[in-house]
Structure 1
Amino acid sequence: MRLKNEVAIITGAASGIGQAVSAQMAKEGAKIVLVDLNSCEKTIDLLGDAEYLECLGDIRDPEFVKAVVNRTIEKFEEIHILVNNAGTASRLDLEDMTLEMWDRDLDTNLKAAFLFTQAVVYPYMKEAEYGRIINISSVSGINGGVVSGDEKNGRSGPAYAASKGGIIALTKWVAKELGKYNITCNSVAPGATTTAITAGVAYDTSNQVIDRMGEPNDIANAVLYFATKEAGYTTSQVLKVDGGISIG
């Protein structure tokens, strides 16, 4: 049990990648803090005997983020792992992109990751001189978006790509800043993965080395490595889990 008695905060835990990460970390002995706007009942059913805390609210709200961290400390006394996973993805192209959609994606995908990172590090991870921060980015933040079958709005939009590119930059900055406290910060960049965000979108995976959609557990396996003590000499990395679409 590689995460025995460690405390992990996971955003977007109600479904998809967040649900898979929560279940895998629970199997490895972690105590799980489930954060989402929606009920995490289905995820709770997958946690077995693991201790957990459910926190429902808007991760874009600084007061909610502080409340999650405070409740975590009150219940578990420590925070070892943070997984910034929750996200939204508009598919409007540049011409049709609205300021509302731009703000939604940037606030959910990037601002919330900043808020949670700041809140768990100062003072908790810093004082403990230990921490594992894993940010879910996307190959869209590297290559500008995975093309799907919809000619007009097939790619995730510019707001999503910009937010995920920002997550990668934030990951590198935080890794440089916090390494001296034995806190690592890494990112996992999924390709087309079967989640709520990709529901109803047809992807042609025939141009991938591995000709299939990714599954949430594919991403969770990578997250789990970065969360372990064994990954203590690995930081500032962006691990593409994308079936080989980014090879070129």
Structure 2
Amino acid sequence: MKMKDEVAIVTGAASGIGQEVAIQLSREGVNVVLVDLNVCDKTIQQLEGSSYLECIGDIRDEQFVKATVQRTIEKFGEIQILVNNAGTCCRLDIEHMTMVDWDRDLDTNLKAAFLFTQACIYPYMKEAGYGRIVNISSVSGINGGVVSGDEKDGRSGPAYAASKGGVIALTKWVAKEVGKYGITCNSVAPGATATSITAGVAYDTSKQVIDRMGQPSDIANAVMYFASKESGYTTSQVLKVDGGISIG
């Protein structure tokens, strides 16, 4: 892929999908900005062939987001790729969910994606006439929650589904707005994937066409296409990487 020496911001880079995305980007020679609430030591140890910048803080905080983008510009001078990946998932049903639970998922999954998208496009990607924005949504944002085999935690909660549905809508809106600037905006929608969000929850993958849990590498592989120059005629798309659970 033609990505060498580009600069990518990846949120949620300390583990899971974000970690794998950062590692795969580094293998292509991309300089990566690792954003997380936790330190990214395990990710840094696996980076290959590129420089990095670690930014630790709360992605729901507008000032932190602006500072992260500014630090990126100061170190690398440009931003070509943004991967909005960081997320939280409350599994309480609507009867028992509190506003704290609701706000956590909406702010982490949707508000943060908006903040980073806005800060990267204006003015940097717009002025450069190029950009690749990839939002990690979920099939929960399409079908209202991935059902597992766990009676207690049967599916992701309403805040998670609503936030990921919002990410999909934001993806489409942004794509229509920024295509004229040479910027694309796409989304990858994972199904049940082995990350900290799904830890301890039993999924009956026998109901899928591909009978296994997804791995972070499965999602990262899809992200890599959307983040590359080769995807220049593709925008506003939502690619379901879900083992076929959404068929039919």
Would you call these one fold, judging by a TM-score over 0.5?
yes
Give the Å deviation of 1:154.
1.6
- 2:65, 2:118 → 1: CA distance? 10
Q: Tell me what 1:90 maps to.
A: 90
Give the Å deviation of 1:67.
0.5
Q: Tell me what 1:196 maps to.
A: 196
Give the Å deviation of 1:151.
2.0
Q: Which amino acid aligns with 1:196?
A: S
Give the Å deviation of 1:150.
2.1
1:183 aligns with 2:183: yes
Q: Tell me what 1:239 maps to.
A: 239
Q: Which amino acid aligns with 1:170?
A: L
Give the Å deviation of 1:162.
0.1
- 1:49, 1:132 → 2: CA distance? 21
Partner SS state of residue 169, structure 2: helix
Q: Tell me what 2:171 maps to.
A: 171
Partner SS state of residue 193, structure 2: coil
Give the Å deviation of 1:2.
2.6
Q: What number of residue pairs does the alignment pair up?
A: 248
Higher mean C-alpha displacement, 182-191 vs 146-155: 146-155
Give the Å deviation of 1:149.
1.9
Q: Tell me what 2:2 maps to.
A: 2
- 1:193, 1:153 → 2: CA distance? 15
Give the Å deviation of 1:3.
1.1
Give the Å deviation of 1:49.
3.3
Q: Which amino acid aligns with 2:91?
A: R
1:43 aligns with 2:43: yes
Partner SS state of residue 100, structure 2: helix
Partner SS state of residue 21, structure 1: helix
5+ residue gaps, structure 2: none
Q: Tell me what 1:23 maps to.
A: 23
Q: Is the 8 A contact 1:93 1:152 kept in 2?
A: no
Give me the identity figure in percent. Answer: 79
Q: Is the 8 A contact 1:214 1:242 kept in 2?
A: yes
Q: Is the 8 A contact 2:110 2:163 kept in 1?
A: yes
Q: Tell me what 1:140 maps to.
A: 140
Higher mean C-alpha displacement, 119-128 vs 150-159: 150-159
Q: Is the 8 A contact 1:19 1:43 kept in 2?
A: yes
Q: Tell me what 2:210 maps to.
A: 210
Q: Deviations over 1:174-226 (max 9, x none)?
A: 00000000100000000000000000000000010000000000000000000
Partner SS state of residue 108, structure 2: helix
Partner SS state of residue 197, structure 1: coil
